Structure 1
């Protein structure tokens, strides 16, 4: 399992960084990104409802065979805790909740909403088919003080965005780490970890693209953009490995209880991301993706985790 987790972490981190580099080098189609985001939303929902939550419930029941009733209160608490965790991160730690201002007597240019309010996930409407930000330059006095303050404000927004995404990435890492601890029979494949890994791969692709594009919109130097992207790309793999080793140190019974609860918490975080950060009902008027196509892609994505889980088997 350790080797499997290390391989998954390496692929996840490498792919996140590689996809995030695209806005720095190549043009990409908004329509393709919309399709990818819709598929990722379906995968997150399917992984949470069809694999992670049932697996967490089963793990709790198996860890407490003497209990005659299903631990409904504990299950509900863990789900709500995971959902609340992402709510707090998105509302209180994300850039949306921090409207920093620097008042030193200089006149600052107004910051467009799309640069000061950046969601965790891809805001595809803010991108044109060439991959560049659609924001228009603002005519400002060409004085050194104004540009210095603007650069400082841009760095502050970029750091706040990075901080929020780091917490988000750690929550994803928790899901991947505990999924690799799910019990399997000798020689069996861990379907839970594979499904979570697949969901995270497709979820992080549009998020990474939006992150790099948002960094560029803050006038951050490209070299710093690469550093921020590298830090973000490492957040989920490192937290997954840390979560794995942390839970692996406990005794078998207590470990199973903690793994079951952690799976349910991660299921709650997935539900938040799929229903709030990437709402299934969200369809922008400027979107190139038709509603019927979006529904089809989301539905198709939802059934992929359940199908893969049934084909691979839990291995219990």
Structure 2
């Protein structure tokens, strides 16, 4: 939660810094989906003892991406009105594909964590918890940065971030209770859900990157040579920052290994 609130505290005063942080954050989200969530889902599927097939990997990814696409096109506004006023917290969350996707991801993290707590290996508990913490911190920072860039009121940002933060512990306890009552092994289902979550992440990253690329193109100055030069320099920075953001999940993935 603290990582999510950091952009609101330190970057809101500077539009330029917030823009740079947003591009950096998209790289973090992309790297998280490709280097952490996707491999983790495949690993859990493999450990479940079921046969690892291409459809078992590809279908959840496709369903996750498709679900977020349909939600974004038919159930959300896509872009908040500007300025954003008189919007209820629930309406604000339901109208954000980014928030919905990350809340789904937080819920899947909770299911994964709850499953690990039912294992007798204490080391396994610690490793799963550490893995979730390691990728949640940069993801939370990216989430807070992008919400601030979208122009939400601070109180609405806090609602989005709070629901994202609470989704994991809530689903951790729900999973523990469900498995304890029904005495069932959900490791395979957890793997499928992680891949589903990766699919939602792919759509979120694609949506956010396209949205801010279009936004920056509308803001391009076109009057003087100096402004044109500054625009080209800004475009290069905007190109490099997502690539730089990718390096953080790369380092985390090596640390997890």
**Superposition TM-score tier, normalisation by shorter sequence:** 0.7 to 0.9
Q: How far apart, in 2, do the equivalents of 1:27 and 1:235 lie?
A: 21
Q: TM-score by structure 2 length?
A: 0.74
Equivalent in 195, 202, 208 of residue 141 of structure 2: 202
- Say if 1:37 and 1:203, in contact at 8 Å, map to a contact too: yes
- Say if 1:41 and 1:203, in contact at 8 Å, map to a contact too: yes
Tell me the residue number matched to 1:245: 173
Aligned: 1:170 with 2:103: yes
- Say if 1:52 and 1:192, in contact at 8 Å, map to a contact too: no
Equivalent in 71, 76, 80 of residue 62 of structure 2: 80
Q: How far apart, in 2, do the equivalents of 1:17 and 1:304 lie?
A: 19
- Say if 2:61 and 2:195, in contact at 8 Å, map to a contact too: yes
Tell me the residue number matched to 1:45: 30
Question: CA shift at 1:18, angstroms?
Answer: 6.2
Alignment length (residue pairs): 233
Q: How far apart, in 1, do the equivalents of 2:249 and 2:114 lie?
A: 18
Stretches of structure 1 lacking an aligned partner (at least 5 in a row): 1-11, 97-116, 120-125, 127-132, 134-152, 216-224
- Say if 2:28 and 2:245, in contact at 8 Å, map to a contact too: yes
Note the alpha carbon deviations across 1:86-123, whole angstroms, 9 max, x for none.
Answer: 22332222224xxxxxxxxxxxxxxxxxxxx429xxxx
Question: CA shift at 1:80, angstroms?
Answer: 1.1
Tell me the residue number matched to 1:276: 207
Q: How far apart, in 2, do the equivalents of 1:281 and 1:258 lie?
A: 35
Equivalent in 283, 295, 298 of residue 242 of structure 2: 298
Q: Map of 1:40-189 to 2, 5 A cutoff?
A: 40-64=25-49, 67=51, 70-96=52-78, 117-118=79-80, 155=86, 160-165=91-96, 167-178=100-111, 180=113, 186=123, 189=127
The structure where helix makes up a greater share of residues is: 2
Q: Taking structure 1 as reference, are residues 72 and 38 closer, same or farther at Cα in structure 2, changes over 3 Å only?
A: same
Runs of 4+ in structure 1 displaced over 4 angstroms? 17-22, 156-159, 181-185
- Say if 1:93 and 1:164, in contact at 8 Å, map to a contact too: yes
Q: Which moved more, 1:159-168 or 1:303-312?
A: 159-168
Note the alpha carbon deviations across 1:12-49, whole angstroms, 9 max, x for none.
Answer: 2x454564477xxx962222112211111111111111
Q: Taking structure 1 as reference, are residues 299 and 265 closer, same or farther at Cα in structure 2, changes over 3 Å only?
A: same
- Say if 1:174 and 1:266, in contact at 8 Å, map to a contact too: no
Question: CA shift at 1:243, angstroms?
Answer: 2.2
Q: How far apart, in 1, do the equivalents of 2:172 and 2:59 lie?
A: 22
What CA RMSD, in Å, does the superposition of the two structures yield over aligned residues?
3.4
Larger Rg: 1
Q: How far apart, in 2, do the equivalents of 1:200 and 1:84 lie?
A: 22
